Structure 1
Amino acid sequence: MQDSLFGDDLPLPAAAAPAAARPVPAEAAAPAQADAPASARRASRPKNAPKVEPAAVDDALRAQAARLPPGLRLGTSSWHFPGWAGLVWNGDYDGTVLSRHGLAAYAQHPLLRTVSLDRNFYRALTASQFAAYAAQVPEDFRFVVKAPSVVSDALVRAEDGRGQRPNPAFLNPQLAVQDFVQPALDGLGHRVGALVFQLSPLPAALLARMPEVLARLDAMLGALPALRATAPDGVIAVEVRNPEFLTPEFARVLKAHGATYCLGLHPRLPAIEDQLPLLRALWPGPLVCRWNLNRLHGAYGYEEAKGLYEPFDRLVDPDPHTRQVLARVIAGTTQAGQAAYVTINNKAEGSAPRSVQALVDAVLAPPPAS
């Protein structure tokens, strides 16, 4: 199965020409939540908080969920979308209410066993804030968390996303531990799934010095604490926005520290099948995938996709090819006993919950007749 999926006949792609840096995607971070007290570990939601009712679930959906590989966790990027009424919520709720109080209802959906905390990219969460999230979900729920931009972005950016100057803290080992990995472990505990360093597009000056960038990445990964004692299912993953990273040297750095490559489905990168050789170089290992943006919209297409897809209640631009290849990768990974974390953005096809459902259908579909 693995040889056919990540075949040795697929070489790692050659480094591509440098690409221009993109502005920070115009995806608003979830509204800020007050720092939660220690009692958040014992209470699923604050006293007198609005209750968000989960959508009704029928027996057929529960039966589908029961058939999925136990190591597979599917989810979305955040959960604060009123347009998911009838899909995830039973009723109409304001986005602010959903941001603060919707996670517990989200986590009751049988297909949604993880979620990406993208908010952490914009402002690092504290351990108690992570703990407040953890208290709202079941024991077997796992979180995918993006590293703060202060560590993962090579540039300090203005509010409009334009790079202003080099970031001296880029891939800083101490900050990576202090502001990301340790707070996540302390707050989420065994509910840590994948901790993802999504490296924003590099400026041309750094792209010309890739050995230096990889040396920095090597030093940072080497400084991270082991996850297993606190989070047995935890994975460190690195996602990139420059195809110049997709090389054997990058794979060797990741493998040396037990980290994995986050399969980033984004127009800045090659298509999914052209990224599989890097996963093959890291085999055996878990799958971490973040399906971010439909390739139709290009590298800077977040705003375009948002305008076309809101309120995110239906599939507008289905991408069955990507879905089928991803289903194959999931099957090969989980059949080998490895974990798989897959999160999907509304901008991938138009509605993240419907994309999850379509991916489940592909995963559970009988194999084609030979």
Structure 2
Amino acid sequence: MRGRDHLARHLFHRRRPARHDRQPAGRRPGGGDLSRQPGLFEADAPPKRRTARAGDVQTASVSPLLDAPGLPADIRLGTSSWFFPGWRGLVYEGVHPQVTLSRKGLEAYARIPLLRTVSLDRTFYAPISAVEYARYASQVPDGFSFVVKAPAIVCDAVIRDEEGRGKVPNPHFLDAAVAVREFVVPCLEGLKDKAGPLVFQVSPLPRSLVEDASLLIERLGAFFATLPQELGGRRPLYALELRNAELLTPRLMRMLAETRVRYCVGLHDRMPEVERQEAALKALDGEAPGDLVVRWNLHRGFLYQAAKQRYEPFDKLVDEDGETRRILARMAAAAFKGGRKVWITANNKAEGSAPLSLLKLAREIAEIVA
């Protein structure tokens, strides 16, 4: 893994080119040489306690989620994002607009014992700074762990318009230097020990790339082999999520094993059922299973927009998927019993309400691990 460490050292000991829309490095926090920034990868300061203020978001005082069974510390369940007004009475007390929940709701979300992770999805649409990551980390307790999506700038082979249509090739697709500079370094610097899986969700690929799957898998392997295995005393957990079922092959699993990257079980209409993905995961792990990362994204047979229209305001289960839930519970329990860590996040578009999906999932897991 010499290439990984060389890239990490290179990035930590070079100055980023100046940008005209920023203040000079000496006048803004975090400017200049990353290796000389005060506080970089230092231990977290004790969180400051503060009293509730008018306009703060409070945790729902009477919620079925509060009756969820306690799970082992290494099994973390959570939702994809947290700022849904329809979760009134489930997660949040009272009525709040989405913008308020986005800014102030995470702390209330993280007070619910069932919810010990969350998928940080906004990072897919644009990179964020270490300061922003640190702000999220300050809102959650110790033991909470974020699932963080890598930005599309390195995960999408094309640059898309507002309708999601690919227009031109993306020159930074699978660019490891950009991934480390814009994602891995600020994420680990800001979240520190609260960084969980760093998920590279590769968007649906053009047919021209998928037709030569072996070459694409080779490119993926070179990309992951270049990412650093250690930064600031922390070892990132990288995971790959797909949107092209054709790539789910033994060749891909061998590449992931060689680069020590986890396969993220992504439940989506574009991907095979959970049983086939579970089989692929077993092929990857062989006799040395790794941590389990699952993103329960979408009810089978639906597109995102159709599911959104059917399930809003996401306050109840509409289309329950008991079979998927049963398999996920079994997978989580097996991973825990094997001494591995588990992250499972659910989207509202999986069954209608992510918190309620997780409540039922937690009950099934608890029955197995008890």
Q: TM-score range by the shorter chain?
A: 0.7 to 0.9
Shift of 1:248: 1.1
User: Which residue is equivalent to 1:343?
Assistant: 345
User: Which residue is equivalent to 1:91?
Assistant: 94
Q: Write the deviation string for residues 295-334 of structure 1: whole angstroms up to 9, x where unpaired.
A: 031xxx1111111111100000000000001100001111
Shift of 1:61: 3.9
Q: Is the 8 A contact 1:44 1:104 kept in 2?
A: no
Separation (CA, whole Å) in 2 of partners of 1:156 and 1:258: 29
User: Which residue is equivalent to 1:235?
Assistant: 237
Shift of 1:256: 1.0
Q: Write the deviation string for residues 70-129 of structure 1: whole angstroms up to 9, x where unpaired.
A: 211000000110110111111111111000000000000100000001100001111111
Separation (CA, whole Å) in 2 of partners of 1:77 and 1:128: 21
User: Which residue is equivalent to 2:282?
Assistant: 280
| 1:79 to 2:82 alignment | yes
| 1:196 to 2:199 alignment | yes
Which segment drifts farther, 44-53 or 277-286? 44-53
| 1:205 to 2:181 alignment | no
Separation (CA, whole Å) in 2 of partners of 1:109 and 1:262: 25
User: Which residue is equivalent to 2:72?
Assistant: 69
Higher relative CO (CA 8 A, sep ≥ 6), structure 1 or 2?
Answer: 1
Match of 2:251 among 229, 249, 252: 249
RMSD of aligned alpha carbons: 2.5
Summarize the alignment of residues 1-370 of structure 1 with structure 2, pairs less than 5 Å apart: 50-56=55-61, 61=66, 64-65=69-70, 68-227=71-230, 230-231=233-234, 234-283=236-285, 284-297=289-302, 301-365=303-367
Structure 2 unaligned residues grouped into runs of 5+: 1-27, 31-38
CA 1:199–1:366 in structure 2 vs 1: closer, same or farther (change >3 Å)? Answer: closer
User: What code does the residue aligned with 1:263 have?
Assistant: V
User: What code does the residue aligned with 1:178 have?
Assistant: R
Number of positions where the alignment pairs a residue of Structure 1 with one of Structure 2: 326
TM-score (norm 2): 0.83
Separation (CA, whole Å) in 2 of partners of 1:330 and 1:210: 30
Q: Write the deviation string for residues 147-191 of structure 1: whole angstroms up to 9, x where unpaired.
A: 100000011111111000111111111011111111110110010
User: What code does the residue aligned with 1:108 have?
Assistant: R
Structure 1 unaligned residues grouped into runs of 5+: 1-35
Separation (CA, whole Å) in 1 of partners of 2:293 and 2:209: 26
User: What code does the residue aligned with 1:55 have?
Assistant: A
CA 1:97–1:73 in structure 2 vs 1: closer, same or farther (change >3 Å)? Answer: same
Q: Is the 8 A contact 1:72 1:334 kept in 2?
A: yes
SS of residue in 1 equivalent to 2:264: strand
CA 1:171–1:104 in structure 2 vs 1: closer, same or farther (change >3 Å)? Answer: same
User: What code does the residue aligned with 1:87 have?
Assistant: L
Q: Is the 8 A contact 1:71 1:339 kept in 2?
A: yes
Shift of 1:226: 1.9
TM-score (norm 1): 0.83
User: What code does the residue aligned with 1:266 have?
Assistant: H
Which segment drifts farther, 185-194 or 208-217? 208-217
User: What code does the residue aligned with 2:259 have?
Assistant: H
Separation (CA, whole Å) in 2 of partners of 1:86 and 1:156: 40
CA 1:95–1:58 in structure 2 vs 1: closer, same or farther (change >3 Å)? Answer: closer
Shift of 1:365: 2.5
User: What code does the residue aligned with 1:334 have?
Assistant: F
Q: Write the deviation string for residues 12-50 of structure 1: whole angstroms up to 9, x where unpaired.
A: xxxxxxxxxxxxxxxxxxxxxxxx978997558999783
Separation (CA, whole Å) in 1 of partners of 2:111 and 2:272: 35
User: Which residue is equivalent to 1:9?
Assistant: none
- Which one has the largest radius of gyration? 2
Shift of 1:241: 0.5
Q: Is the 8 A contact 2:145 2:195 kept in 1?
A: yes
Shift of 1:64: 1.2
Which segment drifts farther, 223-232 or 305-314? 223-232
Which segment drifts farther, 44-53 or 145-154? 44-53
Q: Is the 8 A contact 1:49 1:101 kept in 2?
A: no
Separation (CA, whole Å) in 2 of partners of 1:366 and 1:286: 18
Separation (CA, whole Å) in 2 of partners of 1:91 and 1:339: 34
SS of residue in 2 equivalent to 1:307: helix
Separation (CA, whole Å) in 2 of partners of 1:146 and 1:176: 11
SS of residue in 1 equivalent to 2:142: coil
